Amino acid sequence: MRIAVTIFLTDETITPTRLARELEDRGFAGLYLPEHTHIPVERTTPYPAGGELPPEYGRTLDPFVALGQAAAVTERLGLGTGITLVAQHDPIALAKQVATLDHLSGGRFTLGLGFGWNVEEAADHGVRWSSRRELVRDRMALMRALWSERPVAYEGEFGGVRASHAYPKPARKPRGPVVGPRTLVGGAAGPKLFTHISEYADGWLPIGGRGLGEALPVLRTVWADAGRDPRALQIVPYAVHPSPGKLAHFADLGIEEVVAQLPPAGEAEVLKTLDGLAAHL
């Protein structure tokens, strides 16, 4: 089982370079970073986990800048987003960011993407909440056009791009409908999510990993019905607090990688947590 980690890196936590070096030295598989551009003070959207929204949500570092620093000081560590809020980005600029990070890191980047939960944050980006999933699908298709080996035009419901020269290209070669880096879609189990995964991704990034025994057969059916190779589907439970029993259960489901949650803390506390997680490596 490969063990990667995720953390809310902020202006008050351990730095990206220090953490990345420690992860690679200790044998962890990767570092995934979340994204929030801002958290409006006046909002009605409840925190999905319940209670008050933790302060780190409004202090997150830009994940692409932080992962660029991590890439520069490591050679093997996987680098990923968990998740990129694709609807809140200009897709042409995001395609360049993703391709550049993947190119400079030697193909180590995983694009974890999602649809968001904070209505007010998305609204400030001009996102209409009811159509955000369709917007993400459209923007992924546009980015795939820019990542293609030859210039390809794309015209969708929400935007388009002329056939263009767009370099660098992501390091990985196209795999069926997936053009670009390894792509995982986050979100709760359901027909819409599983359709998105099967259309343009390599797999699923489920938070916590509960209910996978019931959900995975459904996803595998949708995946196979879309003509995808059953052996290629990747499931990466995210923000997990590992235990031997939990990891054994995941392994029985055919899962090969999990992403453990680190506290949004300073160097001493984060390194102490890594010492505890190292028992699972």
pLDDT at position 23, please?
Answer: 98
Stretch 124-151: mean pLDDT, rounded? Answer: 98
* Cα 250 to Cα 148: distance, rounded to the nearest angstrom: 34
CB count within 10 Å of CB 125 equals: 15
Q: What percent of the chain has pLDDT over 90?
A: 97
Give tens-digit pLDDT for 84-94: 999 999 999 99
Q: Give 62's pLDDT tier (boundaries 50, 70, 90).
A: very high
Per-chain mean pLDDT for the chain:
97
pLDDT tops 90 at residue 175: no
Contact in structure between 32 and 3 (CB atoms under 8 Å): no
pLDDT of res. 94 = 98
For 224-263, how does the pLDDT look when each residue is reduced to its tens digit (9 = 90+)? 999 999 999 999 999 999 999 999 999 999 999 999 999 9
Q: Residue 174: pLDDT above 90?
A: no
pTM, 2 dp: 0.97
pLDDT in tens, 95-136: 999 999 999 999 999 999 999 999 999 999 999 999 999 999
pLDDT confidence bin for 143, thresholds 50/70/90: very high
CATH architecture of the domain with residue range 2-280: Alpha-Beta Barrel (3.20)
Please give the pLDDT value at position 161. Answer: 98
In this prediction, residue 135 carries a pLDDT of 98
To the nearest whole percent, how much of the chain has pLDDT over 70? 100
Does pLDDT of 177 surpass 90?
Answer: no
15 — pLDDT class (breaks 50, 70, 90)? very high
